[in-house]
Structure 1
């Protein structure tokens, strides 16, 4: 090992040995100081010594950014540390961690003083949006909207969301008492919406409790208190369902809807018993007209496959293929149907019925009783979670078995609705008025 006092001329002349990846030249003046020269010509000062019986090497800095005197001074400092049994690398890591902790505490304090519920909510929605459905995203947007915006289908301005009054409150000031006061106010005008808003607020605050900055502010969940929940009351069990004798009036009103997309959507919703968003998000690639099956994105499982019954096949095959969505919309930003409930309410008003979109799903389950369809088959078609050990672990029904019963209930419903149809060989149907 060659030792030479470092000078500007010597350091500038040092070159990597031929055939080697790097060469190290040692300073004769300062113990442990070396200059590493790579095959590409890059030079950097290093410090090397023995610590706790092992060789330790630390990079000081690049040449010529570091002068010889500065490199010697730093090597001397490192030598003192190692002679005392101190690992400079560990010391540097601890200093860095302390600085990071101090910076995090500073940011937390700033957030504590200025961040509002609305600002944290916006960050929460942005972070969670990739994991949510469009309907869930829309629910979060609606409950926090400020209101006062123009509507597309009405001259009335939009109303403030259920949580709009909390948006400008500092997150640190959100207390159980304040949430309870909010719940008591909302309960007087819109308790159903407020119950949903409270659930969303509770999930949001749980997220804040795990957030790197907000966890210093939200140490408990103010929305998780009995007083607020009791103020909003319990949700009443809904009983809206199509009775057998109401099918004729409902189908007549639905078939008169001028928008064929909405009309087909509502009929498909009833005849499949699926959830509203499951049918709204149906893509053309999910339909197999050859083998008469529908692949549906399932809430419980990743997906489920159900029969494509003759009348539903006829409805879907007649729709215009504008894009990837079966129930497309030329005006919606997403390109698909988003809110058919307005048209459905108008049609139900004409028919003299009071029925929600989810009521159609409830109707399918109830009407299946008329043909004595086995409960497990109806549940599998609708995507309900299997009940009982036998259903969960032993029953595996083929699609043809589901089809036998599904076609039977469709035929029965259409007969009660006064719709005559003749299935063709292709599995579609000819509707006779």
Structure 2
């Protein structure tokens, strides 16, 4: 092992010996410092020493970038590490790992700050859209429509009638950041909305509460809404009363006036819908969604899309079957020439509607909102206001006059069983429900002064 004092000339003039792949020259000033030259005339400073009896060699760098003094200083530093019983390579690896850890920690901290900053700018409207898309496949049509309607900003031309659409109950909160959605803020919103439209405000609040719970389960939104915002005292104090309207139902002595007024409505579909609503106790939306394929005229039953159980089958009572057969005959009849020309202008072809309660003006072909027509009929009859849900209440109340079992009425209306026996031991077949349902319908028609005599053996007309 040849040793010399490194100088610029010696380092420059050093070459690998002929026939060897590499040669070494060692410095006398810095123990372990060497110069390696390969057969291709590539040079580098190296450091060589023994650690725990094993020789180790570490490359320092190219003489073109390392001065002799810097190479000596590096060699002495490495010698100190080895004398301390440590491997310089491991020390370097640990130092690089530490630097990488610090860099990653700083990057993560910066990302966390950015993420939190973005989280804190998320508004109710932004998160609500994500919420709808996440739940879209799990919700039914009406549930989805409710969630879209409560956040409608309004101000658009009405599709039917004049004027602009009204904003939904939650519209005023859409631009509020989730982090600002405190109990106080929700309480103020609820107070304002409950004063104008208590029923819609109560619905909107229920949807908002479920939405807040969903946010807590999502990493992007968890912790943004202040804890307990929907349960704060300011919110409880402003909640609209949950008590059902005591006068939102038809009394026995009002039936004759009601049936006469509804029967004289100019729209036969609305008339049949309102009468069927009263005589079945169905929910307004589930009855509006009734298709012809759900009605069995042969075996006298209807399948209703139930919001609680998914669907339920109820009897098709004689008078309701009479109403629906009239609608079906009208639905299957060839349209007028005028209507065919209208369809031709729209590039549409005529076909019978799939909906029992259909509307030519509605985008989806369904009856949209019979409430205005019902209100006009009530006013014409001199009757107090009764909502569509009030007709459902009326069925449940009037059925008590027939002494029908409460469980039978609940099963027809689609209420959940309220007792252990009802939940586990009552499995009423459709013919048993029909016996009581026909009795309830007959009693209501009798009180209304309607003379209706179905065929003795039941309806046997099967629509083609």
Both structures adopt the same fold (TM-score exceeding 0.5): yes
2:303 is aligned to 295
1:264 and 2:272 aligned:
yes
Shift of 1:279: 0.9
Give the 3 Å change call, closer, same or farther, for CA 244–207 of structure 1 in structure 2.
same
Q: Deviations over 1:181-210 (max 9, x none)?
A: 222333443333322222221111111111
2:123 is aligned to 116
2:253 is aligned to 245
* Aligned partner of residue 148 in structure 1, secondary structure: coil
1:158 is aligned to 165
Native 8 Å contact 1:180 1:231 kept in 2: yes
Q: Deviations over 1:220-271 (max 9, x none)?
A: 3522322112123423321211111111111111112222211111111111
1:427 is aligned to 458
Native 8 Å contact 1:282 1:325 kept in 2: yes
2:44 is aligned to none
Shift of 1:394: 1.7
* Aligned partner of residue 220 in structure 1, secondary structure: coil
Which one of 371, 380, 388 corresponds to residue 350 of structure 1? 380
Shift of 1:101: 7.6
Give the 3 Å change call, closer, same or farther, for CA 419–99 of structure 1 in structure 2.
farther
* Aligned partner of residue 249 in structure 2, secondary structure: coil
* Aligned partner of residue 115 in structure 1, secondary structure: coil
2:364 is aligned to 334
Native 8 Å contact 1:304 1:383 kept in 2: yes
Native 8 Å contact 1:421 1:429 kept in 2: no
Superposed, which structure 2 residues align to 1:375-390 within 5 Å?
375-390=406-421
Shift of 1:311: 1.0
Native 8 Å contact 2:182 2:225 kept in 1: no
1:312 is aligned to 320
Larger Rg: 2
Superposed, which structure 2 residues align to 1:347-426 within 5 Å?
347-353=377-383, 354-424=385-455
TM-score of the aligned structures, taking structure 2 as reference length: 0.67
Give the 3 Å change call, closer, same or farther, for CA 300–258 of structure 1 in structure 2.
same
Which one of 274, 283, 298 corresponds to residue 275 of structure 1? 283
1: CA distance, partners of 2:121 / 2:140:
31
Aligned alpha-carbon RMSD (Å): 3.0
1:222 and 2:252 aligned:
no
Give the 3 Å change call, closer, same or farther, for CA 187–394 of structure 1 in structure 2.
closer
Native 8 Å contact 1:422 1:429 kept in 2: no
1: CA distance, partners of 2:107 / 2:441:
65
Native 8 Å contact 1:111 1:214 kept in 2: no
- Of 310-319 and 139-148, deviating more is 139-148
| Residues paired across the two proteins, number | 340
1:208 and 2:215 aligned:
yes
1:197 and 2:228 aligned:
no
1: CA distance, partners of 2:117 / 2:182:
19
Shift of 1:310: 0.9
* Aligned partner of residue 231 in structure 1, secondary structure: coil
Shift of 1:360: 0.8
Native 8 Å contact 1:117 1:166 kept in 2: yes
2: CA distance, partners of 1:290 / 1:369:
29
Native 8 Å contact 1:171 1:217 kept in 2: yes
2: CA distance, partners of 1:218 / 1:317:
53
Q: Deviations over 1:343-362 (max 9, x none)?
A: 11221121222111111111
Task: Give unpaired runs (5+ residues) of structure 1.
Answer: 1-82, 87-93
Give the 3 Å change call, closer, same or farther, for CA 174–414 of structure 1 in structure 2.
same
* Aligned partner of residue 367 in structure 2, secondary structure: coil
2: CA distance, partners of 1:245 / 1:336:
32
1:175 and 2:182 aligned:
yes
Task: Give unpaired runs (5+ residues) of structure 2.
Answer: 1-89, 94-100, 333-351
Native 8 Å contact 2:297 2:460 kept in 1: no
* Aligned partner of residue 420 in structure 1, secondary structure: coil
Give the 3 Å change call, closer, same or farther, for CA 236–386 of structure 1 in structure 2.
closer
